Amino acid sequence: MISKECAVGLVESLLAREWLTWAGPVPELAVYRVEEHAIGWLVFWNSAEYARTRDLRDNLVGSGPYLVDRHDGSIHHVPATAMAGDWELLYLRQVRGGTASDPLVIALQKILRSSGTTAAMHYLRRQAPLLGLQDVKVFVSAVSGGVRPPDELVSLTWKRDACSRPDIETLTGPVTDQ
């Protein structure tokens, strides 16, 4: 598990590395807010001047926040446009797609327990019409066996709208030494 202090340290280290390649004068950067969420830490950063004054003239556009995954320490950029919506579900689907925490997988597990495989397949066909019958069988079989469904099938279960569903960008992989 990644602590708040570790999350801030990981982001500060990433910012120091990223800005080494910046063309032009490098602004002083600072973390100015950290929020705890079930999936990790949202770390908001900007220019140090903006952190002190909150004056929009000092704001670096596109400066965050970064999500530090609480389980593995990986860092992801959450676009500002995603913050208005259900960015946590977006993260779960785009980054951890098909895991036990995906609401579709949870629904399928409940249906499998209560009504069986056929009912789960019917439910999945209604929820994800882009999946063919063989794809549905593979997906439900994976969920039934407690295995992550293939990424290419998971992505077909998402209702995506390019305007309201921006991509969350993975900036660093899991932390190997804590």
In three-state secondary structure terms, 43 is strand
Per-position pLDDT tens, the chain of length 178 = 899 999 999 999 998 887 666 666 767 888 999 999 989 999 999 888 998 999 999 888 776 799 999 989 999 999 877 777 778 877 877 787 666 677 888 899 999 999 999 999 999 999 999 899 999 999 999 999 988 888 888 878 876 544 445 678 888 888 876 5
What's the pLDDT at 83?
77
The residue assigned the tokens 């069986």 is 116
- How many angstroms from the chain centroid is the CA of residue 111? 26
pLDDT digits (tens, 9 = 90+) for 75-124: 999 987 777 777 887 787 778 766 667 788 889 999 999 999 999 999 99
What's the pLDDT at 35?
95
Every domain of the chain and the residues it spans: 4-96+166-172, 103-147
Instruction: Report the predicted TM-score, pTM, of the whole model to 2 decimal places.
Output: 0.68
Beta-sheet strands, E only, within 62-172: 66-69, 75-77, 169-172
- Which of 161, 146, 74, 134 has its CA nearest to residue 109? 146
What's the pLDDT at 115?
96
